[in-house]
Structure 1
Amino acid sequence: MSQTYKKKLIEVAIPLEVINKASIREKSIRHGHPSTLHLWWSRKPLATCRAVLFAQLVDDPSEHVESLLADPDLRNLAERELSKRLQKREEAKAAGVSISGEEKPFTLSHMIIELERQRLFDIIEELVVWENSTNEQVLERARVEIRKSCGSELPSVYDPFSGGCSIPLEAQRLGLAAYGSDLNPVAVMIGKGMIEIAPRFKNRAPIHPGGAERNHYRNAEGLAEDINYYGQWVRKKAFEKVGSLYPEVDLGSQNGKAPVIAWLWARSVPSPDPAFSDVYVPLVGEFTIIIKTGQEVWLEPVVDKSRKTISFTIRRGGSKAELEIAKRGTKVGQAAFQCLISGAAITANYIDKAAAAGKMREMLIAIVAEGKKGKAYLSADDAPQLQAAKDAQKLVQSGAIDVQHLEAPCRGTFASNAQGRAYGFYKFRDYFLDRQLCGLSAFSDVLRELKKQVFDDAVQGGFQAYHSGLSAGGAEAEAYAEAVTFYLALALSKLADRGSTICTWDSSRGSLRNTFSQQGIAMTWDFAEGNPFSDATGSWKSCVGWITKVVELLPISQSGSVVQMDAQSCKYPTGTITSCDPPYYNNVGYADLSDFFYCWLRETCRLIYPENFDVITTPKADELVATPYRHGGKDAAEEFFLNGMRIALTNMAKNGSRDEFPTTIYYAFKQNEIKDEGISSTGWATFLQATIEAGYSINGTWPIRTEMSNRRTAAGNNSLANSVVLVCRAKPTHAEIISRSEFSRALKRELPAAIAELQAANIAPADMPQSAIGPGMGIFSRYRAVIESDDRPMSVKTALQLINHELDEYLGGIVGEFDADTRFAISWFEQNGMAKGDYGTANSIAQARGISVDSAKHAGIVESAAGKVRILKREELANDWDPVTDSHATIWECCQHLVRQHEKSGISYDTALLLRKIGSGKADAVKDLAYCLYDICSNKRKDAKEATSYNALIADWTELTREAAAIHDVSGERQTAMNF
């Protein structure tokens, strides 16, 4: 089958380990990170998107061998490197040591491709570092490579599932025109804020009174400064409206008055004990306010049964027993509590019925203030504070605060609870206290007043007095006023996230958690109400600060556009390439969750983008997720999802794919799905089936890790990747039909070499099955069909099973390349693990490999005594072992000593020194053995802990090799070495 396009880097190799580590690290970066502009669920790390787009656009060096050979400097470097490699191979053969990939041809062409590919990898390694995301030198190096591969006419990038807008944003950062679309209006607003609005005001000075103190403003720095200025203007005006509801507390004559930063509340229901049925008792998950050792602050309940009262006092410190009780609160189960006044059980069903009858209330239990000497903690009996809460209630009940926009029904965690419990949450209004409604409404009202003020100041500041707004493509006074208002509307949305009764108090940090601390809304029993007029976390000032910093750092080198449109019918711009992150099945209910923000954004943004806010809630019927309640059951929901995804991908293949470039599709999956079913899981199979039926061939799959881990090395743990990037091209119309046997032969012929390449790239063993799907499905999907013996087309699920079988065959075949003692140890370990077994059986296995048990014992691999044999554990190996002086050093021994040192000190000088001593002749074999042992531990012995050790070693292999190469000799002298 002839190839009419140039292969791109992503179709051959990418520095996956570097990308994964940068992506995981990015999760811990907050201030100024674009993800903090507005919450969106399951968005992909920018580092991943940046690297994937670069590799999707840049040619693989194998497409330019002749021109590369014509470069004298590169040719000379390749000749020197080739000579060293060939010498190393000969030395290894003379020593009787097998080298991984020995059959791979070593030619000048191959070497020059490898060197040039590494140069591109080095660009990616710089590109994915967060601190380089605004480094124009680094970005320009990447842009130069893209222009070299794409010519003078750079393609535009389109994401039909733009969501949090990570992909279009990174396309824009790389100098490409960026487009996106999404059915959800909240996602569309995020996209506009990311790539569409700020470029219209590039390099313009701020217009606020007293502004423009600098001579030059880059990118959106002027806009960011105005957002911050008018944000404080909004705060002042809002405080004039409702400031009286947020009184300060009196800390005494010496400390004076202080602003409250949080009111701590507990939900309460009537006691289930008939004797105390008129007493509302609190439902408290924990009484602790600060849990830091030596600085503990907690609430001690004071119960007076005779007066039927419950109050709380502030305690500091206390005995171990007291603090343990404080950590438990009154909770005795997932949604079950103990009545403080009677000791009776309060069940989840009792609570839900009480809430449905309007008998769930809120009880103020403590106050946190910001004093001159730090945080102060007060009991809840402060009269002015209690009165302020009552005043807010009166304002809402009188109708002075308009909450009509919050009357839409909510369908969060409560309404979809498996037991059918809603706990009184039926409308979005139910998520908020009355004072929270007053505060948020005040800011919303002022934002609607803001536009005129900014318009007048913009005209004074040099903008033309045009009344053409953002939706009409304007870029003068009216549009600028709308832009400032728009970004502050996003700040209000953030304030709502920090301003509901779902927010809790983080006793480990002494601060407020937000509503969406997870991908959903979880019921909270004791919660925290923040003060929007304070300076603490979750305040208006804090929310505006997050927005300001993001806008200031936005990359606006090119134009961008995001529109509201269904992926099944979206219109792709001419000449675009596609990269997208579609929703996966039922992982996240985007529409249901985003309604929480839509209710607030609609009040302000419908004046700017009326076409996106012409309905009460976000669109649901056409949302491409499998939601059973929406479609009448699980099966109907799955059918809806698969049919819709097939149509969307077909639209993409026909209209959003250029012949010169592959398409990249991110596929997120549930960990337990792959764990239970392997790579032929239903989720994998159905999504790949839809992709192939849409007209794509799958040329590659790259597992991407996007979540932080609390293990020693995030990339080294034994968990699966969180997403896979599918690399696809439109299938040729003249594709052939082949039989099952022909497909099997093609797999055996082509897959081993592809797996060897993945191993050479240090793909972690845990990710190898997903990575192997790429070349395997590349074979399967390049044909129009693979026909079974009964003339039925082979399913993707069957193809995946065959690919997985070939992977197992390959890993099993590696065993034959090791020394005899190592092959014996592998077989014995596979059968017995570290347990003892009969000497006779062990000797039979050894003799089949041309050795005896005594040979393995002499090698320091096994213990043999009293007719029993067992593998030595790593901690039993000799501490003074040295591979340089050991005359009977085996690959097994080298691997186990290296794993032990890596477990002890990770990527360290000691680990690198040991690898250096093992030497390059054996190092590749050690890595191969780690792959084999991971497979045995993970799939056959089901020993996850042991598997993790081998996975971690491979995950750190590149850095370890680099460190080893810096060691000049085994005496420990640190110098730069040319090769390892």
Structure 2
Amino acid sequence: MLTDPNPTIRRKLIEVSLPLDEIGAASKKQKAPKGYPTSLHKYWAQRPLAACRAVLFAQLVDDPSAWRDRFPTEEAQESERNRLHDVIRAMVPWEASSNETILNAARWEIARSVAWNIGEEPPPREDGEAILRYLQEKAPPVYDPFSGGGSIPLEAQRLGLRAYGSDLNPVAVLIGKALVEIPPKFARQAPVNPDARAEAARGGAWQGRGAQGLAEDVRYYGKWMRDEAEKRIGELYPKATLPDGSEATVIAWLWARTVRSPDPAAKGAMVPLVSSFMLSTKEGKKAWAEIVHDANAPDGWRFEVRNGDLSAEEEARLKKGTIGRSGGGVCALTGSAMPFSYIRQEGKGIGLGNRLMAIVAEGKKGRIYLSPTVEQVVIADQARPQWVPDGELPNNPRDFKTPNYGLKTFASLFTPRQLVALTTFSDLVAEAREKVLQDAVAAGRSTDSTPLHEAGTGATAYADAVATYLGFMVDRASDYGSEISTWLTDDNAIRGTFGRQAIPMTWDFCEANYFGKSSADLNTISKVISEVVSGLPANSDSFVFQRDISSKEGYKKSYIINTDPPYYDNIGYADLSDFFYVWMKKSLQDVWPELFRRLSTPKGSELIATPYRHNGSRDCVEFCAVAFFQAIGKRSSN
């Protein structure tokens, strides 16, 4: 849509044809490559970047049939259409997202359609800067009213367009700001950290582009956070003693939940709930835990880790554990059945316990699995959190399983040691922000004290920007560091809390060492986030704001609307986001006061059908949810 009140409506490429096979192949879910934007922060149903890029391009570029004076025959139109398909084929692979030659070719095609529609000619193909300026001045902005994880605004910006997004959810809004709004404010600026300033003093001119300076500072101050945290709480993360007496860094502690046995013969013992005793299923590196009856151990049993070869039958037995997905569990001491109804009752009553099952350490030739020790358990028990996140988990039995077993609060999803660590990291975000501010002033940045949330661009705003990404570090640490996180036995690695779009109940869980060599290490986390920031386009002023879509505030008719609305009832975005919101609020409330003014994410007008929020019979609940969805949707479309 152009600002001309009577524009010529021309047929767009998307209305005719697209190279769907290539777009589909590039959009196929795969392990995120280095710098992939979804690694910045977890969100749900994030759209494939390749598809967003292709659809935006085809939505803005005219089909050749719209210009019969230029392409008078069907053969000429088809030839031109195939050429445009080749442009799409070249730009959809992830590798093309940082290739300015390929991207400029795509931008020029958009600029050409815009120019022809207003009676002009586009800038020269080879002048990338002129093409970007032209798109900024003449092309309509793209607006995604359900921007969520930010894929559409990001790809609009990558194509050189002004990009706008909005969402009701503050977590989504801040992700969008971090992707498209913050980087352009500080693009092409040198980092301010002491190492970078020392290099500049030696005559080393900053050669970075885009948001690479910002990314360097995120990495530097992220490492400072990690080192400072280790000084403060490192004693809670001891090394493990190997069989030869040497010490090794712990990667993770693997815990099993326990429940009081219903069998009188067990004499009230707390027995393990283990989904699988296998710790590593890699060929040649198999490891597992066994239950050993020991009268001197608590409850008369202990875990012992073993390594070696296994027959297929033995491995199948160990994989069964003591609890499955159906039927419940069995008492490891007596073999008595423990149905889920009983485990739920005990969990809500006296509560479930935890028992250390194994220790994963970093050896000279890979991961080493060790039996638990009393010393390791004693140190873990010394953790005393001074703060815990507020709030109860939603009464959403479809997606939140832990309340069925007595784990009803956000705090209950973390061990005491995890709470101490995440609280320490959150507090360090504010301290790091002050260091960034001092260093930014020392580096000669403007002393304007306007904060980032009020559109500042000086030293204060820059400190807010770096702090925002450091706050994302805390969130990523919480994802890899909860009682829902598990150990991947085939990869010998940590799986985060959100293996799927829910918070399930996990029986044996992984407690990561934030100072070990894994995906949960703070140095690894800061590197992942800084790599994303470094690769962001940062080429146009863009904005993401919090907005109820049923409101008309902030809406402009000159926008090109491109969106993918929330799933009808498949994902509880707001409920799931609260897992991160409680940590964001602690880390970043002073930086983004408007976004984090509430106790939790807004849910009353969220555009999804949520039956569990409506009381009554099943039919009534479903009817109310559908009616709510339709009412909000109607207000949104008017």
TM over 0.5: yes
Q: C-alpha distance in 1, partners of 2:147/2:400?
A: 29
* Structure 2 CA distance for partners of 1:580 and 1:592, relative to 1, 3 Å: same
Residue 412 of structure 1 contacts residue 593 of structure 1 at CA under 8 Å; is this kept in 2?
A: no
Match of 2:545 in 1: 563
Q: C-alpha distance in 2, partners of 1:588/1:332?
A: 25
Q: Which has the higher helix share?
A: 1
Q: C-alpha distance in 2, partners of 1:268/1:645?
A: 46
Q: C-alpha distance in 2, partners of 1:146/1:179?
A: 18
Q: C-alpha distance in 2, partners of 1:369/1:541?
A: 18
Q: C-alpha distance in 1, partners of 2:93/2:440?
A: 37
Q: Superposed, which structure 2 residues align to 1:90-105 within 5 Å?
A: none
Match of 1:390 in 2: 381
Matching residue's letter, 2:630: L
Aligned counterpart for 1:58 among listed residues 58, 61, 69 = 61
Q: C-alpha distance in 2, partners of 1:241/1:649?
A: 53
Q: Superposed, which structure 2 residues align to 1:899-978 within 5 Å?
A: none
Match of 2:79 in 1: 115
Q: Superposed, which structure 2 residues align to 1:583-662 within 5 Å?
A: 583-632=566-615, 633-650=621-638
Q: C-alpha distance in 2, partners of 1:472/1:332?
A: 52
Matching residue's letter, 2:504: A
Matching residue's letter, 1:464: S
SS of match in other structure, 1:114: helix
Residue 270 of structure 1 contacts residue 277 of structure 1 at CA under 8 Å; is this kept in 2?
A: no
Q: Deviations over 1:578-634 (max 9, x none)?
A: 001111210100001000000000112211110111110000111010001223311
Match of 1:37 in 2: 40
Q: C-alpha distance in 1, partners of 2:7/2:462?
A: 50
Q: What is the deviation of 1:320?
A: 2.9
Q: What is the deviation of 1:331?
A: 2.0
Q: C-alpha distance in 2, partners of 1:539/1:623?
A: 35
Q: C-alpha distance in 2, partners of 1:629/1:417?
A: 11
* Structure 2 CA distance for partners of 1:27 and 1:622, relative to 1, 3 Å: same
Q: Deviations over 1:115-167 (max 9, x none)?
A: 00001100000111110011111111111111111125111000110100100
Q: Superposed, which structure 2 residues align to 1:430-469 within 5 Å?
A: 430-469=412-451
Q: What is the deviation of 1:648?
A: 1.4
Q: What is the deviation of 1:332?
A: 4.4
Aligned counterpart for 1:579 among listed residues 543, 562, 566 = 562
Match of 1:356 in 2: 348
Q: What is the deviation of 1:358?
A: 2.8
Give me the TM-score of the superposition, normalised by structure 1. Answer: 0.60
Q: What is the deviation of 1:114?
A: 0.4
Match of 1:789 in 2: none
Q: What is the deviation of 1:278?
A: 2.2
Q: C-alpha distance in 2, partners of 1:168/1:335?
A: 47
SS of match in other structure, 1:557: coil
Q: What is the deviation of 1:327?
A: 1.1
| Matching of residue 473 in structure 1 with residue 455 in structure 2 | yes
Q: What is the deviation of 1:462?
A: 1.8
Q: What is the deviation of 1:246?
A: 0.6
| Matching of residue 528 in structure 1 with residue 510 in structure 2 | yes
Match of 2:20 in 1: 16
Matching residue's letter, 1:29: A
Match of 1:148 in 2: 112
Residue 415 of structure 1 contacts residue 421 of structure 1 at CA under 8 Å; is this kept in 2?
A: no
Task: Work out which structure has the larger RCO, using CA pairs closer than 8 Å and 6 or more positions apart in sequence.
Answer: 2
Residue 27 of structure 1 contacts residue 45 of structure 1 at CA under 8 Å; is this kept in 2?
A: no
Q: What is the deviation of 1:310?
A: 1.3
Q: Superposed, which structure 2 residues align to 1:515-554 within 5 Å?
A: 515-554=497-536
Q: What is the deviation of 1:257?
A: 1.3
Q: C-alpha distance in 2, partners of 1:18/1:415?
A: 36
| Matching of residue 67 in structure 1 with residue 50 in structure 2 | no
Q: C-alpha distance in 2, partners of 1:323/1:258?
A: 28
Residue 415 of structure 1 contacts residue 425 of structure 1 at CA under 8 Å; is this kept in 2?
A: no
Q: C-alpha distance in 2, partners of 1:611/1:417?
A: 28
Q: C-alpha distance in 2, partners of 1:549/1:412?
A: 38
Aligned counterpart for 2:213 among listed residues 212, 222, 228 = 222
SS of match in other structure, 1:422: helix
* Structure 2 CA distance for partners of 1:333 and 1:157, relative to 1, 3 Å: closer
SS of match in other structure, 1:203: coil
Match of 1:263 in 2: 253
Q: What is the deviation of 1:640?
A: 1.0
Match of 1:177 in 2: 162
Q: Deviations over 1:286-333 (max 9, x none)?
A: 000111123211111112479751112222223332222111111244
Q: What is the deviation of 1:371?
A: 2.2
Q: Deviations over 1:857-905 (max 9, x none)?
A: xxxxxxxxxxxxxxxxxxxxxxxxxxxxxxxxxxxxxxxxxxxxxxxxx
SS of match in other structure, 2:68: helix
Q: C-alpha distance in 2, partners of 1:335/1:496?
A: 31
| Matching of residue 247 in structure 1 with residue 238 in structure 2 | yes
Matching residue's letter, 2:330: Q
CA RMSD of aligned residues (A): 1.9
Residue 393 of structure 2 contacts residue 403 of structure 2 at CA under 8 Å; is this kept in 1?
A: no
Match of 1:375 in 2: 367
Match of 2:126 in 1: none
Q: C-alpha distance in 1, partners of 2:189/2:400?
A: 50
Q: C-alpha distance in 2, partners of 1:269/1:557?
A: 56
Q: C-alpha distance in 1, partners of 2:499/2:224?
A: 29
Match of 1:209 in 2: 194
Q: C-alpha distance in 2, partners of 1:502/1:391?
A: 21
Match of 1:299 in 2: 289
Residue 171 of structure 1 contacts residue 178 of structure 1 at CA under 8 Å; is this kept in 2?
A: yes
Q: C-alpha distance in 2, partners of 1:347/1:628?
A: 27
Give me the TM-score of the superposition, normalised by structure 2. Answer: 0.91
Q: What is the deviation of 1:253?
A: 4.9
Residue 390 of structure 2 contacts residue 582 of structure 2 at CA under 8 Å; is this kept in 1?
A: no
Matching residue's letter, 1:310: W
Q: C-alpha distance in 2, partners of 1:332/1:591?
A: 30
| Matching of residue 288 in structure 1 with residue 278 in structure 2 | yes
Q: C-alpha distance in 2, partners of 1:649/1:18?
A: 33
Q: C-alpha distance in 2, partners of 1:20/1:429?
A: 41
Match of 1:166 in 2: 151
* Structure 2 CA distance for partners of 1:569 and 1:340, relative to 1, 3 Å: same
Q: Superposed, which structure 2 residues align to 1:812-827 within 5 Å?
A: none
Q: What is the deviation of 1:414?
A: 5.1
Matching residue's letter, 1:267: R
Q: What is the deviation of 1:429?
A: 0.5
Match of 1:232 in 2: 223
Q: Deviations over 1:172-204 (max 9, x none)?
A: 001111001000000001001000111111011
Q: Deviations over 1:414-466 (max 9, x none)?
A: 58679x96111211001000101011111111112111111011111121222
Residue 51 of structure 2 contacts residue 92 of structure 2 at CA under 8 Å; is this kept in 1?
A: yes
Gaps of 5+ in 1: 70-108, 651-980
| Matching of residue 133 in structure 1 with residue 97 in structure 2 | yes
Q: C-alpha distance in 1, partners of 2:12/2:329?
A: 60
Q: What is the deviation of 1:50?
A: 0.5
Q: C-alpha distance in 2, partners of 1:332/1:410?
A: 24
Q: C-alpha distance in 2, partners of 1:220/1:207?
A: 13
Q: Superposed, which structure 2 residues align to 1:327-366 within 5 Å?
A: 327-334=319-326, 336-366=328-358
Q: C-alpha distance in 2, partners of 1:259/1:305?
A: 31
Identity of aligned residues (%): 43
**Larger CA Rg, structure 1 vs 2:** 1
Q: Superposed, which structure 2 residues align to 1:764-775 within 5 Å?
A: none
* Structure 2 CA distance for partners of 1:516 and 1:416, relative to 1, 3 Å: closer
Match of 1:5 in 2: 9
Residue 487 of structure 1 contacts residue 547 of structure 1 at CA under 8 Å; is this kept in 2?
A: yes
Match of 1:685 in 2: none
Q: C-alpha distance in 2, partners of 1:53/1:135?
A: 18
SS of match in other structure, 1:362: strand
Q: What is the deviation of 1:412?
A: 7.0
Matching residue's letter, 1:18: E
